[in-house]
A and B are shown apart, each in its own frame.
Chain A
Amino acid sequence: MMKPTGPNAVAERGAELAQLLAQVALGNRAAFESLYAATKAKLFAVSLRIVRERHIAEEVLQDSFVKIWSHASDYAIEKSAPLTWMATIVRNRSLDIVRRPHIELADEDDALAALMVDDAPSALDQLAARRDEGQLARCMQALDGEQRKSIALAFFEGLSHSEVAEKVQRPLGTVKTQIRRGLLKLRGCLDGHVQRDIGAQA
């Protein structure tokens, strides 16, 4: 089945997930299974990119869904999209347990490495391909190339400053500056389109 695309489809999928989450909050196990089925592959991929090792990503997914089950009633649709809420749980868990003094150290999974480089389009390419979809993609697109690459590496792979520096082969200080400026620019771009919060001025 084709995945629905376009902003409306995204909103519809979000509404479906929100309904499932509401049912999960009531203790509906069938809804929980549907929610898992609808999001597992995305969330597993989000974690796997960060933790690199499949067995660790599996544990992250487990822990995250246990938390989603018990915290579903905390979810409020006006605050964030359902998948954003769930992905935040998964990313936090992934980043909490990632133990990677060096980028090459934990990269033992050849299949994943191949997948990240060859088989699947890289996150950056996909983002570039979606320049017309959504404010976030537009704002990412507005960053200069090196800023965008550093931010994407940090976000998707969960790389530290020094790991990003090594990967893009730039001095650490340069990378720190790129990320800092890129984030400020991103915030300015995104917040220009939503109500400003106190403290959110660039």
Chain B
Amino acid sequence: LTSPQLRAHPLGDSAVTITFGTERTAKLLRQIHAAAHSLHAAKLPHIEDVVPAYLALTVFYDARHTSYAEIAKKVLEVCDQPARFAHDARETREHLIPVHYAGMDLEAVAVATGLSVGEVVERHTRRAYTVDLLGFVPGFAYLSELDTSLQLPRRAEPRPRVPAGSVAIAAAQTAVYPLDTPGGWHIIGRTQTVMFDPAREPPALLRAGDTVRFRRVT
């Protein structure tokens, strides 16, 4: 291997986790997203899913037809030299999500950050965010990185039900709730964009590595 920091570890009988490093950086995340893209392009047999995350990606496979040792070797090869397996560069997908900024926590966020409501909205819409990973519930994408002046800890009391379409912030991230779920993030707005639709393939609008911008609508 040319990247000695790559480590493979079994995650049970049907998955292998490849760890790329120990520190969360934008560069490491790009490396992981590139490797995920190459794993799709390489079309290794018996692979079911590739799930990228902050420090690692996990490949799920059908253990009826292969073994951990065999899959780990092949997956490591691709992760080590992703450019050899993906002939095309990863397409950059950009999403523009219209948001009506009138969330129930918008005023409280303005107070807590010492900004005006207008400034909160301006700083939230100014940036292009990267989809770090999906999880928590289907279609929930963690987007980075929020303007430092907007970074607040999660709410002390999570709400039992946050409506689908709520645009929220917490710590260094922002997200859109794809389903009605419990949630502890600060809700600053709402979008009509459907983030998750099980009748769609793939069902989630966003994919790890995509770029997202928010636009204010009234």
Q: Do A and B bind each other?
A: no
CB within 8 Å of A: which residues of B? none
